[in-house]
Amino acid sequence: MSHIADNHDALLDYLYEEGDPAERLKIAKHLQECAACSVAVLEFQNVRGMLRYWTQPGSELGFRVVQDNAFSPASVASPVSGAAVAVEQGARSGVWPLWVRSTSQRMPWLQAAAAVLLFVAGMAVSQVAVDYEDGRVVFSGRSAQPVGNTRGSSITLPPQAASDVASPNAGVAPQPVPADRDPMDTELLLQRVRAMIDQSEQRQQRELALRLSQVTREVDTQHQADLLRIQQDFGHQQEATMDYLVRTSGGAK
């Protein structure tokens, strides 16, 4: 058999397990005997193994197309051209569909909203009362007794900090958070937080599945490389043994 180091087609078919299985078997046998080809294959397999280290960022994408008015794709095709900005501008006029970018691109807003949401939910769960008194936001622990009768340690924020907590928008007056929150509001908040947590868990499970498949492929690649190396070493040993036998038998004569 010719050296597959010189036969790129055969080399690639063997590396990627494509082509005729019988041919690949021949190559495997050839590799057991040919050190040069074994080294060539091993080097390419090592390159492939290294490629696994180049992972993509695991950032959220979440692209969606949102329909503004009744339309069909065909009706959108002609007037909009160019980048998504044109579509977004078109969407503002209420004619074309709005193309919403990935959620993570609006992270400052979303993060702020999520932080406030979690913060308020945390307050509700931990029974911390938030009052707004004389331009200050007052946090206090709340017992089973009515608010005002027994208050725990209070943390008082200056007005500026209170503004930061209440709203991410500079220049917008902070709205007081009622101390006696409606149980329905709290329930709604908790539901939203639970939904967010569920979404996060689902995303993590998806990513975990992807990572697992990637690791499996890495292990396979390494396994093949190891097998090849073992075969190669075995071949060398055989050669050495043969050399030794030839030498010793020659010496005996």
Cα separation, 102 vs 167, in Å, equals 23
Shorter beta-carbon distance to other proteins: residue 150 or 204: 204
Within 8 A by CB and 6+ apart from 119, the residues are 165
Residue 10: its H or E element:
helix 8-15
41 forms part of the interface with other proteins (CB under 8 A): no
Cα separation, 41 vs 228, in Å, equals 8
Most distant CA pair in the chain, distance: 112
Contact residue for other proteins among 1, 80, 128, 179 (CB under 8 A): 80
* Phi, psi (deg, nearest 5) at residue 133: -130, 125
Among 34, 41, 35, 43, which residue's Cα sits nearest to residue 17? 41
Whether 150 and 143 have beta carbons less than 8 Å apart is answered as: yes
| String marking each residue 208-237 x if it binds other proteins according to CB under 8 A | x-xx--------------------------
Taking CB under 8 A as the binding criterion, the range among 53-61, 179-187, 230-238, 239-247 that sits at the site for other proteins is 53-61
Cα separation, 2 vs 30, in Å, equals 9
Contact residue for other proteins among 4, 11, 31, 137 (CB under 8 A): 11
Whether 60 and 203 have beta carbons less than 8 Å apart is answered as: yes
Site for other proteins in 90-149 (CB under 8 A): 97, 99, 101-102, 105
Least distance between other proteins and beta carbon 203 (Å): 11
Contact residue for other proteins among 2, 46, 111, 241 (CB under 8 A): 46
Number of residues counted as binding other proteins (CB under 8 A): 49
Taking CB under 8 A as the binding criterion, the range among 11-19, 27-35, 152-160, 172-180 that sits at the site for other proteins is 11-19
Least distance between other proteins and beta carbon 190 (Å): 22
Cα separation, 99 vs 12, in Å, equals 42
Least distance between other proteins and beta carbon 193 (Å): 21
202 forms part of the interface with other proteins (CB under 8 A): no
Contact residue for other proteins among 43, 187, 198, 239 (CB under 8 A): 43
Cα separation, 90 vs 83, in Å, equals 11
Contact residue for other proteins among 25, 35, 36, 61 (CB under 8 A): 61
Cα separation, 222 vs 97, in Å, equals 48
- Residues near other proteins (CB under 8 A) are 8-9, 11-12, 16, 18, 42-44, 46-51, 53-59, 61-67, 70-74, 76-77, 80, 83-84, 87, 97, 99, 101-102, 105, 207-208, 210-211
